[in-house]
Each structure stands twice: as C-alpha cells, then as structure tokens.
Structure 1
Amino acid sequence: MKSGVPAGIVAALGLTQIIGYGTLYYSFSILAPAMARDLGLTVEQVFGVFSASLLVGGLSAPLVGGWMDRFGAATIMTFGSAVSALALLLCAWSPSTAVFAIAIVLLEVASSMVQYQAAFAALVEIRPKAASRSITYLTLIGGFASTIFWPIAASLGEFLSWREIYIAYALLNLLVCLPLHRWIMRSRTPAAIESSGLNRDDHRRASRTGKAARHASCLVGLCLTGVHTFRDTDAYGPMLGAIGFGAAAVMIGSLFGPSQVLSRLINMTFGANLLPPMLAALSATLIVASVVVLGLSGTWLPGAVVFAICLGLGSGVNSIAQGSLPLWLFGSVGYGAITGRMAAARLAAGAMAPFVFSVLMERFGTDVALLANACLGAVGMGAFLAVALAAKRRPDALTL
C-alpha cells in the first residue's frame, strides 16, 4: 500500500476485526441455545435480549463517534478492547438473567468501540487520502470472521461450556486486540498526524458541509440501514426453512461468507475508479436481486444458491460503502461523529429487522415478506443515486 496506510497497521486492524466480530457477534448465534438452557430461557428470549442490545448499541454509536474525533479512534479501540473483555467475563459469570442482559448490552456498546466503525475512523485519521482503499483491504481481511469463528464456536462447544468459551474470548480481546490497538495508538506520532492529509481543503470542506452533514448523514445512514435489514442472516435462516429447504438451508447459508470475501476481492482488484455512491447503489442492487431471485425460484435449489451468493456479494460491498461513502461526501474532519450517527440508524433498524421480518412471514407469508424487503432495497438504491447526484451538482445540495 504505497503512500497509503502502512500495511502492518491494516493487517493488525484486520486481525482485531476478525477477533472482534468473531467473539462479540458471530459466535452468539452458535452459543445461544446453550445460553438458553443454562439460564432457563427460550432461544427466542435470548435473541430478544440480543436485539435489545443492538438498539442500545445504536443509541451509543454517536457518542462513541464523538469520542473518536476527540481522543482518536485507536485510543477508543484500546479502551474498547478492555471493555469487551470485561463484558465477556461478566456474561460468563452472570448468575441471573438480569446480569446476563446487562452484560450483552455492554457487549454491544463495546462492539461500537472496536468494530468497523472504529477501525474505519482509525484508517481515516492515519491517511485520509488513502483511507478508502485501505478500507477495502481491511474488509477483505475482516470478512473471514464468520468463516473462522462459526466453526470454532461449534467445535469448542463440544467440550467447553458457553461460559468457558466466553472466558477464552475475553482473553483474546485482552491479550491480542488490546496490545495491537495500543500499538496503533502509540504509532501515531505528531509528525504522522500532520502528514496524514488533514489540510486546508479538508477543513474548508468540513466547514462548508458541517450543517449539511447532519442532515445528509441521516439520509445515507437510513439508506445503509435499509440495505442492512436484508443482510440479517438470522432472519433468512428460518425463512429458508419455511420455504422448504430443510437441511439444505445450512449449505445455502455457508455460501454467504465466501461471497462476502469474493466481492471485496473483486472490488480491490477492479473497483479503484468506482465512486462510493455507485458502490453503495451496486450493493443495494445485488441485495434486491437476491431477494427477487429467491421469490421467483421458490424451492428450486439453484435459485437459493444464487440468492445466497448475491446476498453475500452485496453485503461485502456494503461494508466497504459504510466506510468510504461518508468520507467521500463529507471529508475526514468529524468522520467519527458522522459515521456514529449513521451507525445509530443502521443498528436500530438491524435490531428491529428480524422481528418485523418474522411477523410479515407469519401473518402474510414468505412472498409478502420478500416483496417488502425488495421494495425497501429499491428505495435504498434510489436514495444512494440521489445523494450522488446532489453531491455532484453542488455541495449545498446536500442540505436536505
């Protein structure tokens, strides 16, 4: 990454993203049944607690983003690694449902301090002019989190309790992620900050779009939120079973992770000249196409395979757009606060998506649920294109 973010920093962040997403997010669905049995709850109640934690995490995201702008993203990530370890230990110890719920909420708050929102902000701080490319590399590495941690959680579950697994996960965050985040924090010398690209043009752009950013970032956040609701594989799992795929649903779902990585690899190789708004629109298009294919193909297995691949491709591209689009629209100044507001909208909708999706399926059928998702994605596509055209015409057009 010549003239970009040092490769060592991108690699270190990539490793912490794999551990962060693997221990704080992806393993939960594997361990949830064991948690439910241990705590005397139903699996639905355990996922209900998780959905509530997503909502709280969304509410905390703007505050965390402001801290990143004030203290530095790497500093917040270092502190967040300690909070992650503490939350995992609290969850492992939890003697009651109330303590368990508090621990899960704390886990989600910690996630906003160590996952993509924070990692993207760290890259922007180090090299604003090269951050978009570095974000692509980072998401390529981070895309292996589910591929690595789903089987790890399943294998460990055969001879360890979920509490013991969470203790091991806490040690990973404490002994691997925290030192790496601290190293990144200490590597940002005053000279590196001065040469990172925060020049007069960035400050003029920030001043010019300061008020517009507060409005336009909400719109972009809602667009990303609309796409995010499609990407909830926990919602699509029951749907594939309801359609009639049975055990094949697991095989279909296994295509999602590799497709995510493939889309990021393709973008890294061929997408250097593709503007972030077009990247976001492409993501929405792929996800809408996946839903349409599934709705039309019914129980035809090749159609479900195309669905999983398109969904994974769109999701992979969307992760890149989440980091590069606000940087393209608003510049690097105040990046943490802007992405925090976007994350708040995205996570709030993500918390509601599985519930709304399941209600639509139960009351109106799978076809109506798919149609509703397709319409929402189409709105997201149009909004992405509208933002791109507004920004291209004149900066003041962002004031909505």
Structure 2
Amino acid sequence: MRTAMALGLSQLINWGVSFYLLGAFGPAMVKDLGWSGQQVFAGLSVAMVVMGLVSPFTGGLVERCGGRAVLRFGTLLNAVSCMLLASSWPSLPIYYLIWMLFGVGMRLSLYDALFAVLAGLAGERARGTMVRITLLGGLSSTVFWPLGSGLQDLIGWRHGLMVYAALCLVSVTLLYVLPAGAAMLKAELGDSHATPQRAASVFNQWLFGLGVTLVGVLSAGLAPQLPDLLTSLGAPIGLVALWGIGQTCARMTQSLLGESITALSLNVWVGISLPLCFAIGLLSQGRVLLAGLFVFGYGALNGLSTLLRASLPFELFAPDQYARLTGKLVAPAFILSAFAPWLFAAVRDHSGDRTLLWMALGIGLCSLMVAIALKAVGGIDHGPTTKE
C-alpha cells in the first residue's frame, strides 16, 4: 500500500505539471506571449507526436535500464522542461522545442511506462496495484487546475512553472520506493511466470490500438479546453474539480468490483456511456446540474479508460509481451492524438461549443463500435495456454 501511495502521488504530480499544464496556464500564456490559442495549445500536440515516436523504444529501455531509472529520468525531463518554458522568450520554434523535450519526459514518466514496469514485475496480479495508483493520479486535474490558477494570480505563470519544476523533484524522491515496492510485489503477488501465456492476435492488437487512439484523441483534445468550455456553458469554473473527482470515484468503484467484471465487458459499458455523456453536455447550456453531471461523468469514463488501457492487454496478450506490445500499439495513439488539442481548439474557435461536443459524441460512437468488436473477438483467438 505504501508503494501504491508513493507512486500514485508521483503520477499526480507528473500528470499535473505536463498534460494538464496548458489547462491551467494556457490562457495566460496566450495573453502574455501574444500568440493564438491554437499556437499555444499546439505545444501539447508536439509533445504527443514525440511521445508516439519514442514509444516503441520505451519497453526495451525499461528492460535494459530498469523501471526506476527510466521513470526518474522522465520526471527530471519534466522539471527541466518547466524551467525552460518559464524562462523562454517569445519564440515559437523554441517553444515547440521545449514541448518536444516534454514529450520524451511524459512518455518515460506517466502511466504507460509505470504500468509496463509493474506488469513485468507481477504480471496480471499487478492490476490491483495499478488501480490503487490511479486513485491518486486521477486527482491530478482536480489539484493542478486550481493550483495553477492560484499560482498564476499570485506570482504569474512563469514563476508558477518554477513551482511545478520543484514539484517534479518531489516526484523523483517518491520513486525511490519502487525497488522496495518491487520486492514486495513479487513476494505478495507471486512470480509473473505463473500467469498463463497467450499468443497475441494481430486483429486484437489492431482493435486495441484503434480503441486507445479514439479515447486518447478525446482526452487530449478536451482536457485543455475543459475549464474554459465549462465557463462558456454557463457553469461556475469550480465545477471543473468534478472531472478529477469523477475519475477517482470510478476507479474506486472498479477497485471494489475487483475481477467481478472483465476488462472486455467494462470496455463495452464505457463505450455505451461516452455518447450519452456528450449528449448530456449538449443539453447542459445554462443548466448547472447537467453541466456538473457532464464533467463528472466524462471524468469517470476517462478514469476507467485509463484503467482499461492498462488492463485490457492482460486479457489479450501474454504478460511477457506487455511492455513491448503496448509500447508499439500506443505509439499511433500518441501521434494521432497529438493533433487533437489543435483540432479541438480550431473547431471551438471557428464553430463553437456545440460543434465541439457533437464531434466528441461522434468519436464516442466510434469507440463504442470498436469496444463491441473487441468484445466479440477478443476472447477467441488467444492460442494455446501454457505454464512456464
């Protein structure tokens, strides 16, 4: 439990200082630097392209250098990126170069890298630990959006980024628990080689990658826009905290459910709920209750999607394939999702909030179809099972 708490807090910090950075500081950066919203939010797109390019190599890097070293290095890169972003002069090329560095740091420090480490240590038995880690990590937006806003008002966004860099150093110290946690996991959960091995179907891989991409596009596109979108819907900005609360509540429910529902079945339910959630968003203009339900609901679904991204491979692939296969399969998701912040900002600027929500609803329907297809074929072609 101590290990899950430390790693969860580390993830809360790493997500807050990177992925959710523009949600807190983006509007102030637009005003101060004199760039358009599309140009500023494109920084996250650049980072995600880099995440996709380095993703296929991450599994091998974890195997060669060790999980703690990779996670620490990624967190330090996040700290350096925050400091460089705070001290940069108004130059778009330099701004995007800094976000390229951010992309490497994010890929080596966020959930995908950490879960690959845990899967290598404990196989499918690491799923419970992953859920506990995300209970804290899911509160990142709830903590860092208000924190960033408060820092911006108090000391300005540049000094706020220096505070973010200092928090990254705190995150580095939390990662020292990983070796002791690794030994504890192996002792408590048993040897990962005791888990039945499955051959990975190419069609399963394709469907998994497509599903991750669709959900990633939604998450990457909406997260930076959500605080301002909520305000334009006529709801108080404080309701944005429901996003993180929804993530944590959903993950806590999943933790209580345990293995009573398979990841493939849960994936279908999430697919059904996504279009319904955005339909509520379309109806929420001027209705605070519906707006709160929309933010809470989408936060909950986003939280479950993160867990599914970690747990679906256990039902589709062999544990010893986890790090390398997921690293390869999520690479297109990062690259295609990289254009989501720019695309969502452009759609909202030119066509308004309702068009943005309609687009999100359409992506949700596509995600549902992929989830149904994966459920239909996911449990069929696993190949022979053996024990080593």
Out of 123, 126, 144, the residue aligned to residue 131 of structure 1 is 126
Partners of 1:328 and 1:107 in 2: CA distance = 32
Q: What SS does the corresponding residue of 1:95 show, helix, strand or coil?
A: coil
Partners of 1:310 and 1:298 in 2: CA distance = 16
> After alignment, is 154-163 or 354-363 more displaced?
354-363
Out of 264, 268, 282, the residue aligned to residue 277 of structure 1 is 264
- From the superposition, tell whether residues 382 and 40 of structure 1 become closer, same or farther in structure 2 (CA, over 3 Å): closer
Q: For residue 381 of structure 1, report the CA deviation from its aligned partner.
A: 1.9
Residue 53, structure 1, aligned to residue 47, structure 2: yes
Out of 204, 216, 238, the residue aligned to residue 204 of structure 2 is 216
Letter in 2 for 1:234: P
Contact in 2 for aligned 1:66/1:340 (Cα 8 Å):
no
Gaps of 5+ in 1: 1-6
RMSD over equivalenced CA pairs, Å: 3.0
Letter in 2 for 1:170: A
Contact in 2 for aligned 1:125/1:193 (Cα 8 Å):
no
> After alignment, is 61-70 or 368-377 more displaced?
368-377
Match in the other structure for 1:4 = none
> After alignment, is 70-79 or 193-202 more displaced?
193-202
Match in the other structure for 2:4 = 10
Match in the other structure for 1:306 = 293
Out of 134, 140, 146, the residue aligned to residue 141 of structure 2 is 146
Match in the other structure for 2:22 = 28
Q: What SS does the corresponding residue of 1:199 show, helix, strand or coil?
A: helix
Letter in 2 for 1:150: W
Partners of 1:190 and 1:317 in 2: CA distance = 26
Out of 332, 341, 351, the residue aligned to residue 319 of structure 2 is 332
> After alignment, is 29-38 or 17-26 more displaced?
29-38
Q: For residue 200 of structure 1, report the CA deviation from its aligned partner.
A: 6.4
Q: For residue 326 of structure 1, report the CA deviation from its aligned partner.
A: 1.2
> For each residue in 1:75-118, what CA deviation from the matched residue of structure 2 results, as whole angstroms up to 9, or x when unmatched?
21022122222222222232352323211221122011111111
Out of 370, 373, 383, the residue aligned to residue 360 of structure 2 is 373
Match in the other structure for 1:384 = 371
- From the superposition, tell whether residues 179 and 295 of structure 1 become closer, same or farther in structure 2 (CA, over 3 Å): closer
Partners of 1:143 and 1:168 in 2: CA distance = 21
Q: What SS does the corresponding residue of 2:192 show, helix, strand or coil?
A: coil
> For each residue in 1:154-185, what CA deviation from the matched residue of structure 2 results, as whole angstroms up to 9, or x when unmatched?
222223232322223222222x2223324414
Match in the other structure for 1:62 = 56
> After alignment, is 88-97 or 295-304 more displaced?
295-304
- From the superposition, tell whether residues 79 and 264 of structure 1 become closer, same or farther in structure 2 (CA, over 3 Å): same
Q: What SS does the corresponding residue of 2:261 show, helix, strand or coil?
A: coil
Residue 233, structure 1, aligned to residue 223, structure 2: yes
- From the superposition, tell whether residues 240 and 177 of structure 1 become closer, same or farther in structure 2 (CA, over 3 Å): closer
Q: For residue 335 of structure 1, report the CA deviation from its aligned partner.
A: 1.6
Q: For residue 363 of structure 1, report the CA deviation from its aligned partner.
A: 6.5
- From the superposition, tell whether residues 71 and 218 of structure 1 become closer, same or farther in structure 2 (CA, over 3 Å): farther
Q: What SS does the corresponding residue of 1:234 show, helix, strand or coil?
A: coil
> After alignment, is 126-135 or 28-37 more displaced?
28-37
Contact in 2 for aligned 1:126/1:193 (Cα 8 Å):
no
Out of 117, 139, 162, the residue aligned to residue 122 of structure 1 is 117
> After alignment, is 287-296 or 227-236 more displaced?
227-236
> For each residue in 1:125-155, what CA deviation from the matched residue of structure 2 results, as whole angstroms up to 9, or x when unmatched?
2321321111111111111111112222122
Please give the residue correspondences for 1:175-324 in structure 2 after superposition, counting only pairs within 5 Å: 176-185=170-179, 188=182, 192=186, 196-199=190-193, 204-205=197-198, 208-209=199-200, 212=201, 216-231=204-219, 232-236=222-226, 245-246=233-234, 248=235, 250-296=237-283, 299-324=286-311
Q: For residue 265 of structure 1, report the CA deviation from its aligned partner.
A: 1.3
Partners of 1:378 and 1:90 in 2: CA distance = 40
Gaps of 5+ in 2: none
Partners of 1:192 and 1:271 in 2: CA distance = 20
Partners of 2:363 and 2:383 in 1: CA distance = 27
- From the superposition, tell whether residues 9 and 169 of structure 1 become closer, same or farther in structure 2 (CA, over 3 Å): same
Residue 172, structure 1, aligned to residue 162, structure 2: no
Match in the other structure for 2:36 = 42
Partners of 1:138 and 1:194 in 2: CA distance = 17
Structure 2 length as normaliser, TM-score? 0.86
Contact in 1 for aligned 2:56/2:331 (Cα 8 Å):
yes
Contact in 1 for aligned 2:195/2:319 (Cα 8 Å):
no
Q: What SS does the corresponding residue of 2:289 show, helix, strand or coil?
A: helix
Contact in 1 for aligned 2:274/2:365 (Cα 8 Å):
no
Match in the other structure for 1:3 = none
> For each residue in 1:206-237, what CA deviation from the matched residue of structure 2 results, as whole angstroms up to 9, or x when unmatched?
xx32xx35x53342121122123333233455
Partners of 1:240 and 1:31 in 2: CA distance = 16
- From the superposition, tell whether residues 236 and 29 of structure 1 become closer, same or farther in structure 2 (CA, over 3 Å): closer
Residue 100, structure 1, aligned to residue 91, structure 2: no
Match in the other structure for 2:337 = 350
Letter in 2 for 1:317: L
Partners of 2:21 and 2:308 in 1: CA distance = 25
Contact in 2 for aligned 1:329/1:391 (Cα 8 Å):
yes
Contact in 2 for aligned 1:221/1:345 (Cα 8 Å):
yes
Q: For residue 366 of structure 1, report the CA deviation from its aligned partner.
A: 5.5
